[in-house]
Amino acid sequence: MMPVITKIKAQKNNKDRYSIFADFGRGEEYAFSVDEDVLIKYQLKKGMELDDLSVTEMLYQDDIRKAYNMAIQYLAHRMRSEGEVREQLKKKEVAEPIIQEAIQRLYKHRFLDDLEFAKAFVRTQMNTTDKGPKLIKMSLKEKGVKGPVIDESIKEFVVEHQVDKAIDLAQKNFTKNHKDSSRFLKQKTEQLLVRKGYPFNIIQIVMEELDTEKAVGEEMIALKYHAEKLQRKYIKFERYEQKQKMKQALYNKGFSFDLIEKCLVELFEDE
């Protein structure tokens, strides 16, 4: 004898889900619960007989519906990539076949669109951060976006905008490190732009457009700043050894040998 549905009751805490009660030959008892869509799809009603195959299929569809609803809640806060949604459902211990079915349904109803997500992500990053295209592409990859989609979306970050952002970043670095030698300033700026994810061709344009070579007067001011600090550092040494250590340290900081000689002559003449 197959069990027969005896009662269908909406759940108190979730009106979209229904508890199914059935008689398995022992009187009425709780059988399982389903989403409203599953209830309608299988036309469940009182007096209907239930076979094992139908119940298995119903519960499978219900699991898909639950995963789909979980994903919709996750997507309600902001756009997400397919990879992020998959990862979220895995955290909820949803089985892979169920995740795949839910993902397909999300695409069908246009809740997922990795290309639109990636384009929006690129625009946000380029307008609100100082990251270059390489870092943005890396972030998209971490979010599970596939290579071809990343390559297409990064086109939103046009070369002209990359140059403008990189120049602004470089100028701030010039201001911050104005006491460095021209050579060090150039190196630090190039290294900063590399770390921020700007490609070589953009860095080359920026370095050609910005003059990192200081006027001799400005270079001397920076040199004197470091020389005076080193003079205090090596004060305990004899004059010759003190000057040799200062020369080596200043050269290592990127200052030219000729300018160092001139600076030290002036510095020690003032004593």
Domain boundaries, the chain: 4-108, 114-156, 159-209, 216-269
Q: Do residues 207 and 249 make contact, with C-beta atoms less than 8 angstroms apart?
A: no
- Helix, strand, coil percentages (3-state) for the chain, rounded to 5, are 65, 10, 25
Fold of 159-209: Arc Repressor Mutant, subunit A (1.10.10)
Q: Is the pLDDT of residue 32 over 80?
A: yes
Q: pLDDT tens digits for 242-266?
A: 999 999 999 888 888 888 888 898 8
Measured CA to CA in angstroms, residue 24 lies from 31, 55, 77, 79, 214 at distances of 9, 14, 44, 46, 90
d(CA 138, CA 131): 11
Chain centroid to Cα 259, Å, comes to 45
Fold of 4-108: Arc Repressor Mutant, subunit A (1.10.10)
pLDDT in the model for residue 214: 66
Identify the bridge partners of residue 19 per DSSP, sorted by sequence position.
9, 33
pLDDT in the model for residue 140: 97
Residue with the two structure tokens 């071809």: 148
d(CA 92, CA 73): 13
Q: Is the pLDDT of residue 42 over 80?
A: yes
The conformational region for residue 93 under phi > 0 = left, psi -120 to 50 = alpha, else beta, is left
Q: Is the pLDDT of residue 271 over 60?
A: no
Percent of the chain with pLDDT over 70: 97
Q: pLDDT tens digits for 69-80?
A: 999 999 998 999
Six-digit token pair at 201?
């061709």
pLDDT in the model for residue 164: 95
Identify the architecture of domain 114-156 in CATH. Answer: Orthogonal Bundle (1.10)
pLDDT in the model for residue 218: 80
Q: Is the pLDDT of residue 144 over 70?
A: yes
Pick the CATH number of 216-269 from 1.10.10.10, 3.40.50.970, 3.40.50.720, 3.40.309.10: 1.10.10.10
Mean pLDDT for all residues in the chain: 91
Q: Is the pLDDT of residue 230 over 80?
A: yes
Q: Do domains 4-108 and 159-209 have the same CATH topology?
A: yes
d(CA 130, CA 195): 11
Range 23-38 average pLDDT? 88
Q: Is the pLDDT of residue 270 over 70?
A: no
